Structure 1
Amino acid sequence: MKVLVAVDESEGSLYALQWALQNIPLHRQSTAAPVEEEEPPAITVVHVQLPFQQPYTANPVGPVLFATPAVMDSVKKAQEHSSAEVLSRASELCKQHMIKAETMVVRGNPKEMIVEATEQMNVDLLVVGSRGLGQIKRAFLGSVSDYCAHHATCPVLIVRPPKSSNK
């Protein structure tokens, strides 16, 4: 079974990954497997970077200002660092559960890129976290999990984090 788990910087997405590792029957890494017979990954963890948008200010009195190449490079490096950090945390969780995982970073609109990845990889199950937005916030802000549930061609498991005890 091919499982894709979408993660971002939120604790909710890492909780969804942990839930999947604990509850979905995935094959564990065997320590006795010969080196020649490479096991396929049990799970693929994907992180979506938002596309870089040129920040500018349009002043009706003055000129339009664009970001310098140095600023653009700085933003891209920050995005790469953030992606590496997110995937490092996800990989560590997989190792703790002795699950072989593949990681990937894609760039674009998270909703669309996650659905596209499931189609390209012929995924059997997509796991996404939920921030627990109410109906009004979800209507205005949109919801990655809601979009995936309605547009993915495979089953989608939406994992909600447990309710905090300090509320």
Structure 2
Amino acid sequence: MRAMVGIDESDESFYALQWFLDNLFPDLSAALSAGLLTLVHVQQPFQPYGFPAARPGVAGKTFYPSTVVADSVRKSQEQTSAALLSRALQMCKDKLIKAESLILEGDPKDMLCEISEQMNVDLLIVGSRGLGKIKRAFLGSVSDYCAHHAKCPTLIVKPPKEASNNK
């Protein structure tokens, strides 16, 4: 059996991982052999946008960030991703569970569904921000999308009651 947990910068994703480790992993430990728990973080691709030049008398000119700026942003994204996955891997290590990590680039909802299918995942675990229907309609929901589009069973772990009341 192979399980995958989606990790992002939200407390809810870490809560989902902790909930899985505390509640389901003990029952699945025989089925999940070493390295079959995968932690996935999907970072948004960096898009260097052009900005119109704001000098008087200069029409039609556009300023694009330098490659130094673009490289700096990419490096910062990589460091953030590594830090998130390091925290998640430490949670697994604290429970004496071996896990692997994966950093992808793209739209999180699409990439989680794609990689779970490519890796023949048996269970996809994602956190839920606890958004209401209106906020979910405008902001979108990775967990809702995965529940409807992933080819494997998807476990959506809701935040604790007191945390969801603060939203």
- State TM-score, norm by structure 2: 0.88
- Which consecutive residues of structure 2, in runs of 5 or more, have no partner in the other structure? none
Query: Is the alpha carbon distance of 1:59 and 1:134 closer, same or farther for their aligned partners in structure 2, counting shifts above 3 Å?
Result: farther
> How many Å separate the matches in 2 of 1:98 and 1:40?
10
User: 1:92 deviation in Å?
Assistant: 0.6
Higher helix proportion, which one? 2
Superimposed CA distance per residue, residues 138-166 of structure 1 (whole angstroms, 9 cap, x where no aligned partner): 11111100110110011000001102278
Residue identity over aligned pairs, in percent, reads 56
Equivalence for 1:4: 4
Task: Give 1:117's match in structure 2, choosing from 115, 118, 143.
Answer: 115
1:47 and 2:45 correspond = no
Runs of 4+ in 1 over 6 A off after TM superposition: none
Instruction: Say if 1:42 and 1:99, in contact at 8 Å, map to a contact too.
Output: no
> How many Å separate the matches in 1 of 2:47 and 2:144?
25
1:57 and 2:55 correspond = no
Task: Give 1:108's match in structure 2, choosing from 106, 113, 121.
Answer: 106
> How many Å separate the matches in 1 of 2:91 and 2:122?
21
Residue 44 of structure 2 aligns with an amino acid whose one-letter code is: L
- State TM-score, norm by structure 1: 0.88
Provide the secondary structure at the position in 2 that maps to 1:44: strand
Alignment of 1:62-81 (within 5 A): 62-81=60-79
Query: Is the alpha carbon distance of 1:42 and 1:27 closer, same or farther for their aligned partners in structure 2, counting shifts above 3 Å?
Result: farther
Residue 139 of structure 1 aligns with an amino acid whose one-letter code is: A
Equivalence for 2:149: 151
Equivalence for 1:18: 18
Which sits farther off after the overlay, 54-63 or 70-79?
54-63
Aligned length: 157
Equivalence for 2:84: 86
- Which consecutive residues of structure 1, in runs of 5 or more, have no partner in the other structure? 29-38
